[in-house]
Structure 1
Amino acid sequence: MDGTTSQLPVVVIGAGPVGLAAAAQLLERGLEPLVLEAGGEVGTAVRAWGHVRLFSPWEYDVDAAAVRLLDAQGWESPDRDALPTGADLVDAYLAPLAATPQLAGRIRTGTRVQAVSRQGVDKTRTVGREGRPYLVRTVREGRVEDVLARAVLDASGTWGRPNPLGAAGLPAVGEEQARAWLTGPLPDVLGGDRARFAGRHTLVVGTGHSAATTLLALVRLREEEPGTEVTWVIRGRSPARLYGAGDADGLPARGLLGSSLRAAVADGAVTLLREVTISALTPAPGGRLAVAGTGRDSAAVHLLVDSVVGATGFRPDLDVLREVRLDLDPGLEAPAALAPLIDPDFHLCGTVPPHGADLLAHPDEGLYVVGTKSYGRAPTFLLATGYEQVRSVAAALAGDTAAAARVELALPGTGVCSTDLGDREAAEVAGCGTGVGFATGSEHGRSAEGPAPALVASSSSSGG
């Protein structure tokens, strides 16, 4: 980059865990970060699921460069073996990190990014494109401002862009009109949203950890509130992938999540329906919602419910990047070089290796999509993976290609191997009785995971 461009900041979109980690890593490399966050505080998206406990301990939830900044301010680190909630992650880590002298003046909250382009050229222009600064158009308090940047890291996440309930990636008929009955993927069932679910019939849609968390909260509510009814629908033939490997899981809390859900289904606390596709949502008498679909062997499915929890995963908002040149996988909407490593049709058990700048690069140099958004529509992004991504990207931007290429992360195993998943799913189906069901997500058998009690990064999607 020329001398003028090199004096510009690196814009980071989103002040969630991965966005703030990127800022810390850039600072250590002598680069100037500018973090733009649409929410009113850092970790806005994480705060939205603040009541949920992660199944990863603090050891995996913090970034090394961020911790070095915090330690210099006398930060008291939480117990590395404890499991934080989303609120803990914001209050004990993200907020103190954002308040450090090094970062405090480099974060703009309440600033929404509308678009990213290259100064003076649209995406069709090739001649003279290389080396131009990025132009990041923002809106703050109704005022439009263009920010110039030497590079852009989009860590805006996918929270707030849920997949629809209907089939083929499209909303079910009447889904838009049924919004009053629909919740987000992680309602506070035992807390602030309790009255909505107590003594009522709730339908949970999805096969990710968000669905499992909500289902188990509803099971507990069912024990405390008579008349509470819980139905779980999945599109696939078996929930074996979600049940996981119990005690064999490298993260015990994650293993317990799956085994507890399996037990709840076996005990009848949760009614599991399989191989169902939702086709229509219609308001019904008594303030209820009629859910219609097609089940196994094209059998009609009809349910009357009071609420629908759409734990269907998320999809990236690519509109803000329309004027830059991206190389995306046509199916997953992830960087093309990364997609084969994260495709859920082939990677079922945490087999995704740590990866960095090389796999995240796009045709426009200095442009990276990191964090949850880098996975596009693929599920179960690990927060620690996002930290490794931005460590590598910061090294690449600083010209340290050797450091960018190194792998400096070891992830806990899932305990579920792709080699035995088919047999386990077959066993689940054989013992499942006559239930029918569906799941939603990226073509729904693979339910993209949103911020759940997982090692996930939601890097405040509002940043985009």
Structure 2
Amino acid sequence: MSAPTTGQLPVVVIGAGPIGLAAAAHLIERGIEPLVLEAGPSAGTAVRDWAHVRLFSPWAEVTDPAAEKLLSPTGWVHPDGTTYPTGGDWAEAYLQPLADVLGDKIRYGTTVTGVARAGRDRIVDSGRNEQPFTVHVQRHDGSEERIAARAVIDASGTWSTPSPMGSNGLPALGEKASADRISYRVPDVKDPVVRARYAGKRTAVVGSGASAFTALAYLADLAKEEDGTHAVWILRRGIGADTYGGGEADQLPARGALGLRAKDAVENGYASAATGFRTQAAERDADGRLVLVAEDGRRLDPVDEVIVLTGFRPELSFLSEVRLGLDERLQAPTALAPLIDPNVHSCGTVYPHGVNELSHPEQDIYLVGMKSYGRAPTFLAMTGYEQVRSITAAIAGDREAAERVELTLPDSGVCGGAGLFDDPDTVQDSTGGGCCAAPSTLQIGIGAPASSGGC
């Protein structure tokens, strides 16, 4: 039997999160075989990590049309489009049912360790574009495999690579040694173990985006029930008119409400703010508590715990043998970077985009979803769905559909067009929020998962 031609090979999708599963659904709609590789044990593994957090986009905006078509014959009923799901709701009521329909087109417990052209490292030009991709994977049992693919869609997100506490983008002095007292996730204070970690404690929250707002609001709720609970909010900039986001002007009302919850926490004394504080070091005191030290020499009173919510960044090491065109600042595709620059844009001012903005010097490899945004946190799930619709059309040879834009985004309501982000130190004149977060239960700015994610 002869070996399959490149066109007969599957398209490998990395990550079984919202955008990766949507990519598989669009490929099937186009008659192309997908193979989804997921490092975790289930669909939406990373989304499940923040199952307690509510999105600030309603159900109507977090499901993909092609995915809905796959689900419809199973009797799946779309949740009420006006309600806001938690991460757990999103995973259980949409992502897992979709994954179940895809069946053996998904391989769980499979980590991608490398992607290259067959027989070509990144230096070789000769015959490069005629060669299929070779995707190197390692299974949970330690065994390895090489998978041939006609194209690769990387929807692995950024959840596994949170940004550190240091204001220069590198870990602060002592940050790694203090790992037992530092978390990079919004705490689920309803979980008894997590609650015990923060109840009655003094906790520093580093960051100025939606994730930080969420943590501040959760800790404020805990302070109302547990004496001695207090948050110290570490901001690299000052507090200004847009520090708390768009408020009532935000076209995503839940996102605006989240900023107001954080503002309430500060104004009612549940949190105090340390402004213009650029963390340089975390030192232990005699009791083992942490003293944060700023670049200007300021030292804060000791804290019991630190929650670092300064954004996320893409993991690119397994793509070292393919030729990516990435912006030197944002680590996003070169043509996309100006459209998502948080110095200029919020979620709602990012121009809808597709295959043209997401292409690289290496043909037929694409970064999508949160990973495509590099270090820019202004990502929305509906943006990712539009990305994979366009890309799969291009892979199928339907250039007209690939270049057609089918998306309208909500406006952030932040003055001056300043962006919503989780690491405001990366922009010039803004102190906004992140891109996902919530009403009564709260919602988070997703720097998406080992799978992928969005608002």
TM-score range, shorter chain: over 0.9
TM-aligned CA deviation for residue 6 of structure 1: 0.3
Aligned with residue 406 of structure 2, among 405, 408, 412: 408
Count of residue pairs the alignment pairs up: 441
| Pairing of 1:126-165 with structure 2 (within 5 A) | 126-140=125-139, 141-165=141-165
Q: Secondary structure at the match of 1:285?
A: coil
Taking structure 1 as reference, are residues 202 and 459 closer, same or farther at Cα in structure 2, changes over 3 Å only? Answer: closer
In structure 1, what is the Cα distance between the partners aligned to 2:125 and 2:178?
46
Q: Which residue of 2 aligns with 1:118?
A: 117
Q: Which residue of 1 aligns with 2:310?
A: 312
Q: Which residue of 1 aligns with 2:367?
A: 369
Which runs of 5 or more residues in structure 2 are unaligned? Answer: 438-442
Q: Which residue of 1 aligns with 2:16?
A: 15
Q: Which residue of 2 aligns with 1:458?
A: 448
Would you say 1:238 and 2:247 are equivalent positions?
Answer: no
TM-aligned CA deviation for residue 451 of structure 1: 6.7
Taking structure 1 as reference, are residues 299 and 240 closer, same or farther at Cα in structure 2, changes over 3 Å only? Answer: farther
| Pairing of 1:154-233 with structure 2 (within 5 A) | 154-192=154-192, 193-233=194-234
Q: Which residue of 2 aligns with 1:434?
A: none
Give 1:129's aligned amino acid. Answer: R
| Pairing of 1:11-410 with structure 2 (within 5 A) | 11-100=12-101, 103-140=102-139, 141-192=141-192, 193-238=194-239, 240-294=241-295, 298=296, 300-348=298-346, 350-410=348-408
Identical residues among aligned pairs (%)? 51
Q: Which residue of 2 aligns with 1:430?
A: none
- Cα offsets for 1:265-294 (capped at 9, x unmatched): 222221011111111112223331121114
Give 1:186's aligned amino acid. Answer: V
Taking structure 1 as reference, are residues 272 and 439 closer, same or farther at Cα in structure 2, changes over 3 Å only? Answer: farther
Give 1:155's aligned amino acid. Answer: A
- Answer whether contact 1:313 1:442 (CA < 8 A) is retained: no
RMSD after superposition: 2.3
- Answer whether contact 2:182 2:307 (CA < 8 A) is retained: yes
- Answer whether contact 2:137 2:146 (CA < 8 A) is retained: yes
Taking structure 1 as reference, are residues 446 and 378 closer, same or farther at Cα in structure 2, changes over 3 Å only? Answer: farther
TM-aligned CA deviation for residue 135 of structure 1: 0.4
In structure 2, what is the Cα distance between the partners aligned to 1:226 and 1:16?
39
Taking structure 1 as reference, are residues 462 and 58 closer, same or farther at Cα in structure 2, changes over 3 Å only? Answer: closer
Give 2:125's aligned amino acid. Answer: T
- Cα offsets for 1:119-157 (capped at 9, x unmatched): 000000012111210000000121110000000000000
TM-aligned CA deviation for residue 456 of structure 1: 4.3
Give 2:203's aligned amino acid. Answer: T
TM-aligned CA deviation for residue 449 of structure 1: 4.9
Which stretch shifts more, 372-381 or 407-416?
A: 407-416
Taking structure 1 as reference, are residues 411 and 197 closer, same or farther at Cα in structure 2, changes over 3 Å only? Answer: same
- Answer whether contact 2:46 2:448 (CA < 8 A) is retained: yes
TM-aligned CA deviation for residue 237 of structure 1: 2.4
Taking structure 1 as reference, are residues 349 and 312 closer, same or farther at Cα in structure 2, changes over 3 Å only? Answer: same
Which runs of 5 or more residues in structure 1 are unaligned? Answer: 423-437
Which stretch shifts more, 267-276 or 304-313?
A: 267-276
In structure 2, what is the Cα distance between the partners aligned to 1:440 and 1:172?
17
Taking structure 1 as reference, are residues 61 and 46 closer, same or farther at Cα in structure 2, changes over 3 Å only? Answer: same
Structure 1 length normalisation: TM-score? Answer: 0.90
Give 1:460's aligned amino acid. Answer: A
In structure 1, what is the Cα distance between the partners aligned to 2:433 and 2:168?
14
- Answer whether contact 1:334 1:376 (CA < 8 A) is retained: yes
- Answer whether contact 1:137 1:147 (CA < 8 A) is retained: yes
Taking structure 1 as reference, are residues 291 and 456 closer, same or farther at Cα in structure 2, changes over 3 Å only? Answer: closer
TM-aligned CA deviation for residue 241 of structure 1: 4.0
In structure 2, what is the Cα distance between the partners aligned to 1:41 and 1:189?
24
TM-aligned CA deviation for residue 443 of structure 1: 7.3
Give 2:82's aligned amino acid. Answer: D
In structure 2, what is the Cα distance between the partners aligned to 1:372 and 1:198?
33
TM-aligned CA deviation for residue 406 of structure 1: 1.1
In structure 2, what is the Cα distance between the partners aligned to 1:77 and 1:57?
12
Which stretch shifts more, 179-188 or 326-335?
A: 179-188
Q: Secondary structure at the match of 1:72?
A: helix
Taking structure 1 as reference, are residues 459 and 18 closer, same or farther at Cα in structure 2, changes over 3 Å only? Answer: farther
In structure 1, what is the Cα distance between the partners aligned to 2:72 and 2:447?
22
Give 2:128's aligned amino acid. Answer: R
Q: Which residue of 2 aligns with 1:433?
A: none
Q: Secondary structure at the match of 1:286?
A: coil
- Cα offsets for 1:18-52 (capped at 9, x unmatched): 00000001100111100000011111100000000
In structure 1, what is the Cα distance between the partners aligned to 2:258 and 2:50?
17
Structure 2 length normalisation: TM-score? Answer: 0.92
In structure 2, what is the Cα distance between the partners aligned to 1:448 and 1:356?
25
